[in-house]
Structure 1
Amino acid sequence: MRMSFAKGVSALAISSILAVGCQTSDSSEEGSADNEANSSLEKSTEEKEQPSESNTQEEEEHGHDHEHDHSHAEDEEAQQIYEGYFEDSQVEDRSLSDWEGDWQSVYPYLQDGTLDEVFAYKAEQDEEMTEEEYKEYYEEGYETEVDRIVMEEEGTVTFFEDGEEYSGEYTYDGYEILTYEAGNRGVRYIFQLEEEADQAPEYIQFSDHSIYPTEADHYHLYWGDDREALLDEVTNWPTYYPSEMDGHEIAHEMMAH
């Protein structure tokens, strides 16, 4: 009787252990299956969210093409303006700060022959004029006794001529749009002397091929006491480049235009 009870207890214990084991095994398999399902779902979601390499490449190429087209259009418009073709509505007022700096006349470089390569280059590009004819044309255009000019942002302009210097304070007096015989146009930006100053001209007029605010890299300058008469001057246009540039740098800059 005792043995039967013990056997019964043992059988019951073994049965319980097997049952627990089966449950644990089933639970582990279910957990493993759930993990695999979750992993598969996450992977599928990542694949959907992550753009394909081909799509990304296409988007980048499209962006580059758009930037290139936009830049090309801007370059064409800038070149048209530089050559004197623009609409009145494009012209904007400018301040003297656009010409701020220390500037030198290019006339001495014409006289010493440094700019001869520029005239030779122009004659190669345009057979209508010879190198000598170009030099004569620019001789008249560049001629000046003012070999240096310093422009300060607040309006002070200092002229250096024959070893002497004189200054004046200038304020903006508007702009004038001029039409030339060739059919292209230009803009004169005009500044007037605030108070009478020894030797300083009443008016200075800038022309630098730009028609809206921008820092000038060179310019043509007209000066005198008669505003309207200066607007008629189209044969003598003293030209100035930054004083830190040497003659050869200026020559190469001219040929680049």
Structure 2
Amino acid sequence: MSVLKFRNGILALLVAVAAFSSGGCGGGGDSDVSMDKWKGSWKSESGYLKDSGMNEAYSAVASHVSGVSSEDVKGAFEAMLYSSIDSIKISGGAAVLISNGGAVSYDYSLVGTTPIPGFDGSVWNKFESEQDGPFKYLIVTEVHSDGPDAMKHWHFRYGASGFDSLVSGDNSLWWPTFVAADTSIEKVAKDMNDEAEAMAQFLSSSPSLSGWDGDWKSFSSYLDDPAMDSAYEAIAAKGKNLTAAEVETALKNMYDSKGVTALSIRGDVITVTSGGGSMAYDYEGRMFAPISGFDGVFWYKFEAPSASDQRYMVMTSVHSDGPDAMKHWHVRFGDAGFSALTDRTDFWYPTFVESSTEVSDIASDFLAEADELAAMITALK
């Protein structure tokens, strides 16, 4: 079970997203569309969000939502608009994508259109490159604006493993956006300010625990079982100078649930089992945050004021790594606030699986992903 594959998608917030910088989210497509429609230089809107010139707009949005601060607003839109592409220059069928890693050029061909879920009459234009890599597949809306004086922009998503995962409702919160390269911070802030009330609808829909309802067992509770030994040995054999003991230690560190052996979720209550005892806490949703290094993947934030060591929880959605793979989700928890969890740079991903999961299921999952796990553990050494 790889933490590198999980995708998320819990909230049906498309109506509010439509109000945010969408203008109908791109409108309909046509059979003649080519990359010439996007010709020119464009900058990711995410690059503007940390500028102090946005603070007034964040406050305007926050003023329409009870219990939400301007910092909450900022964090939410940093998550929704996140892109590892800083800018793009398009000429003909070629796109030069610029990020912190430098510039890379892709030649794209239009391969069709597909409806945007939740937006009747609107489509994604699907472009594919013969070149492999993280931007092989690109889906884009039409260039549009929300009014005569509003800024021109377009939404996009990208990936390496096909169109289905990009179009999927699992990405319903991810709306990377390009604006013209000469767009000023004042223009971006004005656009957000003008849409403040509509954007507040988006932020007022806090996440619910209904997507995690059930009984869950800590992944780490399986890792001492002798039945795991063959999986550790298989992973070590795939790595460079890895031993089975090193594999076991690395995985125990990665999945360490700090003594929490089980979680039972019913409604807004999470019952935490730890140290031989159990305590039930009422949790409230606190929006979401991006997961660093995973484009379009989010932590959902929950807080239980009465809890102690698990007062703050950030959780991925329940997911699996394939049609026959086991369901699971990743979580972090602590008592020092959300930032202490979301900003961690180490590879800490406590994971919970359905309580009926057998150790043989865990071992089989590890064996199926031995190559990937070996590469990851080698890189972490």
Query: Structure 1-normalised TM-score?
Result: 0.55
In structure 1, distance between residues paired with 2:164 and 2:275: 37
1-structure distance, mates of 2:363, 2:269: 29
Q: 2:306 matched to 1:220? A: no
Deviation per residue, 1:49-97 (Å, 9 max, x gap): xxxxxxxxxxxxxxxxxxxxxxxx9x7456789xxx999328x975311
Q: Is the 8 A contact 1:219 1:241 kept in 2?
A: yes
SS in 1 for 2:226: coil
Alignment partner of 1:253 is 2:365:
yes
Deviations 1:35-56 (A, max 9, x none): xxxxxxxxxxxxxxxxxxxxxx
Hey, what's the Cα distance between the residues in 2 that align with 1:140 and 1:164? 23
1:185, distance to aligned residue in structure 2 (A): 7.0
Rounded Cα–Cα distance in structure 2 between residues aligned with 1:224 and 1:112: 27
Contact map agreement 1:80 1:86 (CA 8 A) in 2: no
Describe the SS at the equivalent of 2:223: helix
Alpha-carbon deviation of 1:249?
1.6
Paired residue secondary structure (1:88): coil
Change (3 A) 1:240 1:114: farther
Instruction: Tell me which residue corresponds to 1:163.
Output: 276
Task: Determine which of 299, 302, 312 is the counterpart of 1:188.
Answer: 299
Aligned to 2:311: 202
Distance in 2, Cα, partners of 1:103 & 1:235: 21
Name the CA shift for 1:86/1:122 in 2 (closer, same or farther; >3 Å): farther
2:174 alignment partner in structure 1: 88
Q: Structure 1 CA distance, aligned partners of 2:287 and 2:238?
A: 36
Greater share of residues in strand? 2
Secondary structure of 1:201's partner?
A: coil
**C-alpha contact (below 8 Å) 1:168/1:200 kept by paired residues:** no
CA distance in structure 1 between the aligned counterparts of 2:270 and 2:282, rounded to whole angstroms: 6
The Cα of 1:209 is off from its aligned counterpart by: 8.0
Q: CA RMSD in A?
A: 3.6
Contact 1:166 1:200 in 2 (8 A): no
Distance 1:253 1:97, change over 3 A: farther
User: What is the TM-score normalised by the length of structure 2?
Assistant: 0.39
Deviation at 1:112, TM superposition (A): 2.5
Unaligned runs of 5+ residues in structure 1 are: 1-72, 211-215
* Cα separation, 1, equivalents of 2:328 and 2:164: 16
Are 2:173 and 2:296, in contact at CA under 8 Å, matched by a contact in 1?
no
Task: State the alpha-carbon separation in 1 of the partners of residues 318 and 219 from structure 2.
Answer: 17
Deviation at 1:246, TM superposition (A): 1.2
| Pair member with larger Rg | 1
Change (3 A) 1:167 1:186: same
CA contact (8 A) 1:220 1:239 kept: yes
Equivalent position SS for 2:356: coil
Q: Distance in 2 between matches of 1:133 and 1:77?
A: 37
Q: Which structure 2 residues correspond to residues 44-63 of structure 1 after superposition, within 5 A?
A: none
Alpha-carbon spacing, 1:77–1:242, altered in 2? closer, same or farther (3 Å): farther
Q: Which amino acid in 1 is paired with 2:300?
A: Y
Code of the residue aligned with 1:202 in structure 2: it is: R
Mapped to 1, the partners of 2:367 and 2:327 lie a distance apart of 14
> What code does the residue aligned with 1:235 have?
F
Deviation, 1:122, is 3.2
Out of 105, 108, 115, the residue aligned to residue 228 of structure 2 is 115
Ranges of 4+ aligned residues in structure 1 off by more than 6 Å: 78-81
Q: Percent identity?
A: 22
- The aligned counterpart of 2:354 is 242
| CA offset digits 1:86-139 (Å, max 9, x no partner) | 99328x975311111111112122122333333334344454744333222111
SS in 2 for 1:107: helix
Judged with a 3 Å threshold, the aligned counterparts in structure 2 of structure 1 residues 187 and 128 are, in CA distance, closer, same or farther, namely farther
Instruction: State how far apart, in whole Å, the 2-side matches of 1:128 and 1:89 are.
Output: 41
CA contact (8 A) 1:187 1:209 kept: no
Change (3 A) 1:230 1:167: same
Worse-superposed segment, 200-209 or 124-133? 124-133
